[in-house]
Amino acid sequence: MGMPTITKGLDAVKAKAKAWNDDIEEMHGGYCGDPVVGGNYFSVAMGMDVTMKGQPRMKMDEIAVFGVKEGKIISEQFFF
């Protein structure tokens, strides 16, 4: 399940999201914290309890950092 590290363009972002969702066998739960805003960025703590196809059940926690320009998200980084 190798997700691209750089994704450009709306169609590519949609394709990445679809590929991720297609790899999920069962979603057991998840959370998303309150956003923290700083300048042109915001970050969110998030996580999920998931079984991916062909993998054991796992819990994942991450911090997602999004860059914003003119009201649109232009970049994303995920720290696990």
- The pLDDT score that the predictor gives to residue 12 is 84
Give 23-27 contacts, CB < 8 A, sequence gap 24+: 23/52, 23/53, 24/50, 24/51, 24/52, 24/53, 25/51, 25/52, 25/53, 25/54, 25/55, 26/50, 26/51, 26/57
Domain boundaries, the chain: 26-79
Total-model pTM? 0.78
- The pLDDT score that the predictor gives to residue 45 is 98
- The pLDDT score that the predictor gives to residue 62 is 95
Mean pLDDT by 10 residues, the chain (80 residues): 68 88 96 97 97 96 94 88
CATH architecture of 26-79: Roll (3.10)
Beta bridge partners of 79: 63
- The pLDDT score that the predictor gives to residue 60 is 94
